[in-house]
């Protein structure tokens, strides 16, 4: 049986994923602010490196998989924590755990993105660029124009940057080349303590009041089934995917936008990537 690190293990979808893995006989090393094997605060760089060190120690330096579910919802005053936990709390943990994942040979990692990455309208490109380039200090200025809605744009921006980081990282030599299958799940509204708290707030409710073609809310156990599949041999050929399980909201708003062919303006980049692949000697 395998050994899996799960962040956000104390609540909601992280808890459901851990339960599903334990039921299947796997060992789970849970990370959270409370009720976890590794109690660490992922909103601070020190907490993130401590979490990595303790998971590596507990796992003996070999992990079959990781689930990054810890997150902060777009409640008033949460913008800074969202950037730290939802973006850096995933990217830094994954980077720190990478050697342990590589040691397993065909490990799988699943990060929690959100349909907010694509259905939050008009997320500033500069915000996503700041996150991806490590210029986190720019984020407050970039969010200032959004006023009370800043947490919602921080949330959508952090999840969009995470999806972009993940798709580029997943296919790199250090990840795909080391046999690690890195993918993301992008849930829609799922009935967890995070969603319950958001449904009680005004500004978040405006953005949460989105059409769900299939109706209703998802359940944590449903998402846990998808996570389990993405950690199983069924995902051996899965790499860099962002799997939407959102009742159809993304397809409703963005059905005409994706999949999309590379536009003529992107052809030079397409050819350069193909050439780089040929020169890399990877098969």
Residue 120 in the binding site for ligand NAI (CB under 6 A): no
- Are 39 and 32 within 8 A, CB to CB? yes
* Residue 90 Cβ vs ligand NAI, minimum distance, rounded to whole Å: 8
Q: Specify the 3-state DSSP secondary structure of 177.
A: helix
Task: Choose the binding region for ligand NAI from 64-72, 199-207, 227-235, 249-257 (rule: CB under 6 A).
Answer: 64-72
Closer residue to ligand NAI in complex, CB, 171/199:
199
Indicate the residue among 104 and 226 with the shorter CB distance to ligand NAI: 226
Please provide the DSSP assignment of 88-147 as one string: IHHHHHHHHHHHHHHHHSS-EEEEE--THHHHSTT--HHHHHHHHTT-GGGHHHHHGGGG
Cβ contact 144:253 at 8 Å: no
Pick 104 or 110: Cβ nearer ligand NAI: 110
* Cα distance between residue 282 and residue 41, in whole Å: 39
Element (H, E) at 156: helix 150-170
Kindly write down the DSSP assignment for every residue of 238-261, as one continuous string: --S-EEEESTTHHHHHHTTTSS-P
151 versus 189: smaller Cβ distance to ligand NAI: 189
Count of positions on this chain that bind ligand NAI (CB under 6 A): 26
Q: How far apart are CA 233 and CA 216, in angstroms?
A: 31
Choose, from 155, 217, 244, 252, the residue flagged as catalytic: 155
Question: 155 an active-site residue?
Answer: yes
Q: Which stretch binds ligand NAI (CB under 6 A): 6-14, 94-102, 129-137, 142-150?
A: 6-14
Could you tell me how many residues make up the chain? 283
Sole binder of ligand NAI in the list 131, 190, 227, 230 (CB under 6 A)? 190
- Binding string, residues 222-261; x marks residues near ligand NAI by CB under 6 A: ----------------------------------------
192 binds ligand NAI (CB under 6 A): yes
Element (H, E) at 187: strand 181-187
Residues engaged in binding ligand NAI (CB under 6 A): 8, 10-14, 32-33, 41-43, 69-72, 85-86, 112, 114, 187, 189-190, 192-195
Name the residues annotated as catalytic: 155
């Amino acid at each position: 049986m395998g050994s899996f690190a799960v962040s956000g293990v104390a609540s909601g979808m992280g808890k459901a994923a851990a339960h599903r893995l334990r039921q299947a006989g796997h060992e789970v090393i849970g990370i959270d602010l409370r009720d976890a094997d590794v109690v660490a605060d992922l909103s601070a760089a020190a907490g993130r490196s401590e979490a990595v060190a303790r998971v590596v120690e507990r796992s003996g330096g070999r992990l079959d998989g990781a689930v990054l579910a810890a997150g902060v919802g777009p409640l008033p005053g949460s913008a800074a924590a969202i950037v730290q936990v939802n973006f850096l709390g995933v990217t830094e943990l994954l980077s720190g755990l990478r050697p342990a994942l590589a040691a397993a040979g065909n490990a799988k990692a699943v990060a929690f993105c959100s349909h907010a990455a694509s259905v939050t309208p008009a997320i500033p490109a500069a915000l996503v660029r700041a996150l991806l380039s490590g210029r986190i200090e720019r984020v407050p200025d970039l969010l200032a124009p959004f006023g009370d809605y800043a947490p919602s744009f921080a949330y959508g921006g952090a999840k969009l940057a995470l999806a972009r980081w993940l798709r580029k990282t997943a296919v790199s030599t250090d990840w795909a080349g080391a046999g690690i299958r890195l993918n993301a799940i992008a849930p829609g509204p799922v009935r967890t303590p995070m969603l319950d708290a958001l449904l009680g707030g005004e500004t978040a409710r405006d953005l949460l009041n989105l059409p769900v073609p299939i109706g209703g809310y998802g359940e944590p156990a449903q998402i846990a089934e998808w996570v389990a599949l993405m950690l199983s041999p069924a995902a051996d050929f899965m790499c860099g995917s962002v799997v939407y399980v959102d009742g159809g909201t993304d397809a409703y708003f963005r059905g005409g936008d994706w999949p999309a062919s590379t536009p003529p303006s992107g052809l030079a980049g397409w050819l350069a990537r193909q050439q780089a692949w040929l020169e890399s000697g990877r098969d």
